[in-house]
Amino acid sequence: MKKTASGPQRRENPLSRERITEAAIELLDHSGEGGLTFRALSERLATGAGAIYWHIANRSDLLTAACDAMVARTLKANAIGATPAATIRGIALGMFDAIDGHPWLGSALIHSAGQLPMVRVFESIGHQVRELGVPNEEQWGVACALLNYILGVGGQNAANTQFAKARNLDRSHFLDAVSTMWSQLNPDEYPFAHSVAGHLRVHDDRNDFLTGIDLILKGAESPRQLRPALHESGNS
């Protein structure tokens, strides 16, 4: 006679750090960082918290593991280009899209400073900076500029997206309203903002992001022009 299962459905696959991490990513995508709790994770995995603690030390470790998994797969999919500059653009845009699609990722990266997720990104960028032929004494500054730009702009873009979603704002309507406001500014007091008001209405965030990457790369690929600027800044 077949026995009838009683109690909650138990997991069929063995628990592993990888399974826990993937479940954590699903929770983060669905509920944000605030929804990542061991209780919610236990329910999703149909197991007890004690079994999870066997693989994951604490919530901080869990968030770092989820962040690292996302970074690793993003870099694997985007860190191949015909040239070092093309590879950097691919890494940058891949991270921009990953942070946009997983808004918790930007914050998790910032809070994992010095840990493996951040090291992965920094190493990938730094290797390509070397391949560009940037002088040794300037590689740190160029790699940091790229990393800070990617995380800063990517994080801000994700924050803007979440702000709009939380308030049910339509992007095109919002930009149209801001563009109209800028166009009505006094052109003598705000000449630049007034002149680009129309561009604000139709701008593309990803293209604007890549423009910034290209500006950094242009300086990195012209070390003779970059070096005096760096030295002058350091001596000021």
Report H helices in 167-204.
Answer: 171-183, 191-195, 197-202
Q: What is the pLDDT of residue 212?
A: 96
Regarding whether 110 and 38 lie in a shared domain, the answer is no
- Owning domain of residue 39: 9-56
Domain of 158, CATH number, reads 1.10.357.10
Regarding whether 78 and 45 lie in a shared domain, the answer is no
In a domain, 1, yes or no: no
What's the average pLDDT block by block, 10 residues per block, for the chain (236 residues)?
44 80 95 90 91 91 95 94 94 96 90 91 96 94 96 90 81 88 94 93 92 94 56 52
Regarding whether 50 and 13 lie in a shared domain, the answer is yes
3-state percent helix, strand, coil for the chain, nearest multiple of 5: 75, 0, 25
Residue 149 CB neighbour total at 10 angstroms: 16
Q: What is the pLDDT of residue 223?
A: 55
What is the tally of structural domains in the chain? 2
